[in-house]
Copies of this chain bind each other. A is one copy, B any other.
């Protein structure tokens, strides 16, 4: 759910993981090594990212491969863009009104 995506992205380590994965999938072991944090710490952060649908995990035997979920990322940035577009449209309307009054 996109609601939880903001919470998932609220922590700097979790954003670093997203940046890492945007360059390609990685195993849990690779991510743990890359960031030099303990296994329980990385597991906790990965769980939050997975629960929010930001990251998916494909289990292939003993290998857990992590991937980004473009759909959730799109939903999340769309929500922000909708708010910004509504807000900016207000100023366009005010601007047009002032232009018309000048004429």
Which residues of A are at the interface with B, using a C-beta cutoff of 8 A? 3, 6-7, 9-10, 12, 15, 18-19, 21-24, 68, 70, 73-74, 76-77, 79-84, 86-88, 90
Copies of this chain present: 2
In the complex, what distance in Å separates the CA atom of A73 from the CA atom of B6?
13
In the complex, what distance in Å separates the CA atom of A42 from the CA atom of B17?
32
Check B10 against A86 for contact (C-beta < 8 Å).
Answer: no
Contact of A22 among B6, B22, B87 (CB under 8 A): B87
Contact of A83 among B6, B24, B73 (CB under 8 A): B73
Q: Which residue of B lies closest to A25 (CB)?
A: B90
Check B7 against A3 for contact (C-beta < 8 Å).
Answer: no
